[in-house]
Chain A
Amino acid sequence: MSLQLKQARRERVREGSPWTGLWAVVAKEMADHLTSVRMHILEVLIVLTAAGTVYAAMQSLRNSVGQDPFLLLKLFTTAREPLPAFVGFLGFLVPLIAIALAFDSVNGEFNRRTMSRILAQPIYRDALLLGKFLAGLFTLALVLTAIWLLIIGLGIVGLGVPPSGEEVARSLWFLLASVFYGGIWLALAMVFSVVFRQPATAALASIAVWLFFTVFWEILAGLIAPVLRPVRFGFPEEILAQTQLELTLTRLSPNTLYGEVMLALLHPTVRSVGLVLPIQLQGAVLGTPLPLRQSLLLIWPQFTGLVAATILLFALGYVLFQRQEIRA
């Protein structure tokens, strides 16, 4: 009987659109982000990093003006001791910004006792959560786009070469990939902000997951693969199977996915990410750049993986938030 009742409840159609009020939430949250001290600090940090690394890269690239057709892309990827390349910094700046944008998004409303007041307005919880997520994503996109413009601008002024269409397209795809890479950490921090009432706990949990994937996951993958696919007799098939499993495992980490996308997009000569078998290289002229289409095809699974992980994590946060008791 009560089961039937529950079913009937679940089946009933909700009134109106679940997205009523969505843009009001997005506008308010974005305004908050863009005026918060927290974001200003991160913006300064990322601008300094970009300016520093790109300046250093330009020093090394001066000599190759006119020889390298992808000089502007090299601005992102060239490292000069002791500084790593800009993309090396992005690998942790993007998660840092994303986590900073979201770790107190839901629990903050509870702690300020604004949650019940907001949800007593004619909107659904769906709009509140998605609005907060989109605001974070847009803010991230805004910051990254500004940095992208800064780097391209520095390149044009400093190196004196106009960007080619191919370079712009590749770096824009890279920008998009970076936003979704951030989306994963944004959604993750949001899940933790639903689960934990203390923002500090949510921030620490998010950073712990990030550290896990950055530092430990590759080591773990290296330990797990030999256990699951042991090399008993030294056959090439065994070794191949083990290596492939290890590769698959490391690809469960968003860092690996992002790294591979970055590699293929910013280095047009890269023709394979991961394992390369001699047979795949037959007929290929090493060192010739791939067209953008080919590079994209190469990392399309990784790219969709980043997007899918973002969506899955958001969905998890959504389910948890829907079930949450509103009383603060």
Chain B
Amino acid sequence: MSELVIETKGLSKRYGDVIAVDALDLAVRRGEVFGLLGPNGSGKTTTILMLLGLTEPTAGSVQVLGLDPARQPLSVKARVGYMPDEVGFYEELTARENLVYIAKLNGLPRDEAYRRIDEVLARMGLSEVGDRRVATFSRGMRRRLGVAEVLLKQPQLIIMDEPTQGLDPEGARELLHIIRELKGEDITILLSSHLLYQVQAVCDRVGLFHRGRMVLEGTVSDLAQQVLGSTYRIQLQADGPASTLMKALQHLPGVVNIERDGDNRYQVAAANDLRAEVANAIVTAGGRLLMLNVEAPSLDDIYARYFQEVEHVAAA
């Protein structure tokens, strides 16, 4: 069952001379968590606005849940929950009153609306503060209220623009936890972020944006394979004469590079997972092994490496 929830073909948006989104082909399957990742200004928000029919594309086609957002905006917006990057509420109203307004705009009958509001507030841990004015809410609470609002219409697709931006680590973790929960409920999620490492763990697939183009797409491990090759980064901490230890490590088969990060810290790049061999080599060379760790490939690395290479090619 690989029904497409979002499908764009050659989707483009120009603002005068600026090409905000350039011929984007995007396909998101049902039940998937897809991450639009890239630095600020790379076209993520513009893409999202076009998916919702809030901005008209300059060219190309969009299908969301099989509908055209420009032609059938009401049907699309009734089925898609959207949390903007800077989610704002009516400060002078309570959380509940804010949700009541949204429920009315969605044409929910009164009883149904109140039932759902209680439900989503409880789910987001906001039951106790539901009757407090939003002006008194922290950023994390506002973001959770944003999710509550999105869930209110029981959407088939949720689009979140920079959901973790501006949250403290605790708040960000909470939000990612919520996303992971939703994923288990057959809701498709599209989220954007410029903080790659934060969302890496929740995304099934990611698309990396650069200047309006999606330059890389796939699962994180696919991308790592593609861009970094099979590189493992092993970090270790060991007491002992540095030169001896470095020499011992250099002789291991498969080691590509060794760097000394600090007094007794080293980083080993290898073609495969050499943790056992490294430990053995350190001990045999008379060192005291204090820490040994292999780092999973991170999106930041992938992104950085990809653009190093692109610029390398461009410079050459």
Write the residues of chain A forming the contact surface with B, with a CB cutoff of 8 angstroms: 9, 12, 14-16, 20-21, 24-25, 27-28, 32, 112-114, 116-124, 325-328
The answer, yes or no, to whether B82 is at the interface (CB within 8 Å) is: yes
- A117 near B55: Cβ-Cβ < 8 Å: no
Q: How far is the CA of A32 from the CA of B101 in the complex (A)?
A: 12
**A119 CA / B84 CA spacing, docked (Å):** 11
Q: A121 to B77, Cβ gap below 8 A?
A: yes
Of chain A, the residue at the smallest CB distance from B86 is A113
A9 to B54, CA, bound (A): 15
Alpha-carbon separation in the docked complex, A113 to B71 (Å): 26
In the complex, the answer to whether B54 meets A116 with C-beta atoms within 8 Å is yes
Highest count of chain B CB atoms <10 Å: which of A16, A122, A328: A122
Residues of chain B lying within 8 A (CB to CB) of residue A328? 84, 86, 88
Q: Offer 15 A-B interface pairs, CB within 8 angstroms, sorted by A.
A: A14-B71, A14-B73, A21-B104, A21-B107, A28-B104, A112-B91, A114-B90, A116-B84, A117-B87, A120-B54, A122-B78, A123-B77, A123-B105, A327-B55, A328-B84
Please, how many angstroms separate the alpha-carbon atoms of A63 and B107 in the complex?
Answer: 59
Is B89's CB under 8 angstroms from A120's CB?
no
List 4 other contacts, CB 8 Å, given A15-B73, A327-B55. Answer: A24-B105, A119-B54, A120-B52, A122-B107
Q: Contacts A117-B88, A327-B45 given: A122-B55 contact, CB under 8 Å?
A: no
Contacts from B to A (Cβ < 8 Å): 45, 49, 52, 54-56, 70-75, 77-78, 80, 82-84, 86-92, 101-102, 104-107, 146, 149
Known contacts A20-B107, A326-B54; is-contact A117 B70 (Cβ 8 Å): no
A124 partner residues in chain B, CB cutoff 8 A:
73-74
Which of A20, A25, A114, A117 is B74 in contact with, Cβ under 8 Å?
Answer: A20
Instruction: Assess whether B89 is in contact with A114, with CB atoms less than 8 Å apart.
Output: yes
Cβ-closest chain B residue relative to A18: B74
CA distance A277 to B75 in the complex (A): 63
**In the assembled complex, how far is the CB of residue A114 from the closest CB belonging to chain B, in whole angstroms?**
5
C-alpha spacing A119/B88, complex, angstroms:
13
With CB as the reference atom, state the residue of chain B lying closest to A23: B104
Neighbouring B residues of A121 by C-beta, 8 Å: 77, 102, 105-106
Query: Chain A residues with Cβ under 8 A from B75's Cβ?
Result: 15, 122
| A325, B83: Cα distance in complex, Å | 17
Report which residue of B80, B107, B149 has the largest number of chain A beta carbons within 10 angstroms of its beta carbon: B107
Report yes or no: B88 in contact with A114, Cβ–Cβ below 8 A: yes
Distance in Å from the Cβ of A168 to the closest Cβ of chain B? 37
A312 to B80 alpha-carbon distance, docked (Å): 35
Question: Which residues from chain B contact A117 at a C-beta distance below 8 Å?
Answer: 82-84, 87-88, 102, 146, 149
Closest to A109 in B: B88
Given A21-B107, A122-B106, A327-B45; A112-B88 close (CB under 8 Å): yes
B107 touches A28 (CB 8 A): no
